[in-house]
Amino acid sequence: MTKLIRIAQIAAVVSALSLTGWAGYSAIVYLTMEPCFEVKKFSVSGLKHIDENQLLAKAGFEAGTNVFRVNLQAIRERVEQLQWVQHAMVERVFPDQIIIKVIEREPIGLARIRGEIYQFDVEGKILDSDPARGWAGGWAGLNFPILDGLRLGDFKENLTKVASYRKVLQDLGQNSLSEIHINDAGEATVVSASDPVLVNLGKIDFRNRWIKYLQLKPQIQRRYPLAVRVDLRFKNQVIVRMKDDDAGQTIVWDGKKNTL
């Protein structure tokens, strides 16, 4: 008798589970087939540089897809492949809407790479011309000193050089410079907005070295009008080069001799 009761209990549980499973299956079929859950609205927010049609094409979404069948992660990953997208969020809004929220990359400077001008962001990401402006107007009017030294695809090294670039701007001011060169050793060489002389500031103490250059600049221009480079990397010493190689250099000031 006990055995029969046990069998009956098991049968009841199985039956209940079957009904629950059937109800769940029916609910899934309803939600994924019901026309009211077909996506009719697709909205994007956060765009300043990216063209909305370009983003929607990259998202690869087809209107009329059931809102429950939309792969949100796949759309996010595709959208984040766009060069100007830093982060993207994709959400369902029931019953029939998909929303993409975008955080774009913001350019903080202009880089000259292999003779071409690119924008770049704080993470060292190289950005092509602003797609919303078009190729010709992608960087025109941006008031940034040109950075030399970045390389396409060299993310780690670019990040370090961008950090040095930002430090130079912080210490010297953005409007006073036309170019900043950062070499692989991390040394900064700058070009003033008012004259073409290359001023080597080394790796540290940019502000004090620049102030020293500005103090000596009138005398250097008067006595060495053919100077092309001024080197301030060495303590208590200023070196002027008449041509861009070591053979043409002259020590014009040092702390001990105090010449110039």
Degrees (nearest 5) of the Cα angle 27, 74, 26?
5
Q: Report pLDDT digits (tens) over 147-177.
A: 999 999 888 999 999 999 999 999 998 888 9
* Boundaries of domain holding 132: 109-254
**Given this model, what pLDDT does residue 71 score?**
92
Q: How many CB atoms lie within 10 A of CB 223?
A: 12
Residues 178, 235, single domain; the answer is yes
How many angstroms separate the CA atoms of 97 and 72, rounded?
12
Q: Is residue 14 part of a domain?
A: no
Residues 61, 140, single domain; the answer is no
Residues 240, 139, single domain; the answer is yes
Q: Is residue 11 part of a domain?
A: no
- Domain count of the fold of the chain: 2
Q: Report pLDDT digits (tens) over 60-89.
A: 877 778 888 889 999 999 999 999 999 999
Q: Are strands 109-113 and 146-148 parallel, antiparallel or unpaired?
A: parallel
HSE of 235, CA atoms in CB hemisphere, 13 A: 0
Cα separations in angstroms, 21 against 17, 24, 26: 6, 5, 8
> Which of 74, 104, 134 is the last residue in one of the domains?
104
Q: Alpha helix locations (H) across 34-114?
A: 52-59, 72-79
Q: Is residue 235 part of a domain?
A: yes
Q: Is residue 190 part of a domain?
A: yes
How many angstroms separate the CA atoms of 89 and 91, rounded?
7
Give me the phi and psi of 93, to 5 degrees please: -125, 110
How many angstroms separate the CA atoms of 95 and 174, rounded?
50
What CATH number should be reported for the domain holding residue 169? 3.40.50.11690
Degrees (nearest 5) of the Cα angle 80, 82, 87?
35
The residues of the chain scoring below 70 in pLDDT are: 1-35, 129-142, 244-249, 251-260
What CATH number should be reported for the domain holding residue 61? 3.10.20.310
β partners of residue 4: none
CB distance 65 to 82 below 8 Å: no
Residues 218, 122, single domain; the answer is yes
